[in-house]
Amino acid sequence: MEKKFSEYGELNDAQKAEAVDLFLEGFGHFLTFSKDEATKKNLFIEIFDPEFFICYLEEDKVLGLMGLGTNKKRPIDFKKEICQKYFGKLKGTLISKQMNAIFQKPAVSSDRELYLDTLVTNPEWRKKGIGTTLINEACSFGDYDSIVVEVFSDNEKAIRFYEKNHFIAVKENKASVMRFLGAGYPIVMERKMHEK
């Protein structure tokens, strides 16, 4: 069985659609700016960064997706012209500004930190090591000292997964507005690079 990693920009159109489907399945419930799922999918196909999303494929099928960010760039950029193409001039501009206030805000402060923005796997392939394989791939990048991820305190399954993958909690933001919205509070977890 052929297994490989591929940058999003190297995927064919069908594989890009698979990658975006994985993302929307995992995170779509947070993206309430539109109820039109087909339009949201088309938008994300265009705005995913071609290099900052790494996909795990088996037999040319996308089974896992990892989005990485740095202190200078994150993997999803709601470009104004693309948002306007799908949602019109006014709504597209508003979506671009509001979403980029979140998705383009630097998540780490150091040039030596890598941010794990997104990690999702195909539901039928969960618990088969794909998430761990993607994390280990990110940890093999030589230009960074650590990889950082943020999880919500209510997501105990994710916390256990990251702990199993050598992440430790380094910061809790118990005053976050998300806590009052029922998502728990954000926990920043970190793994030193090159640790296994």
- What residue spans define the domains of the chain? 3-144
Predicted local distance difference test score (pLDDT) of residue 177: 54
Q: Rounded to an integer, what distance in angstroms lies between the CA atom of residue 157 and that of residue 98?
A: 29
Amino acid, single-letter form, for residue 69 = G
195 has pLDDT over 70: no
pLDDT at 100: 93
Candidates 172, 169, 130; CA nearest to 148 is: 169
Which of 118, 175, 105 is closest to 147 using CA atoms? Answer: 118
By percentage, how much of the chain surpasses pLDDT 70? 93
Q: Once rounded to an integer, what is the mean pLDDT over residues 73-94?
A: 97
Which of 39-48, 149-158, 178-187 is the most confident on average? 39-48
pLDDT bucket at 181, cuts 50 / 70 / 90: low
Q: What is the DSSP letter of 70?
A: -
Q: Could you confirm whether domain 3-144 is CATH 3.30.429.10?
A: no
Q: What span, in angstroms and rounded, lies between the C-alpha atoms of 177 and 45? A: 30
Q: What is the pLDDT of residue 90?
A: 97
pTM: 0.88
**Averaged confidence pLDDT in the chain:** 91
Cα 125 from Cα 67, distance rounded (Å): 18
> Residue 17: how many CA atoms within 13 Å on its side-chain side?
7
Write the pLDDT tens digit of every residue in 8-51: 999 999 999 999 999 999 887 778 888 999 999 999 999 999 99
- Beta-carbon contacts of 135 under 8 Å, excluding residues fewer than 6 positions away, are 66, 116, 119, 147, 165, 191
* pLDDT at position 42: 97
Question: What CA–CA distance (Å, rounded) separates 187 from 35?
Answer: 29
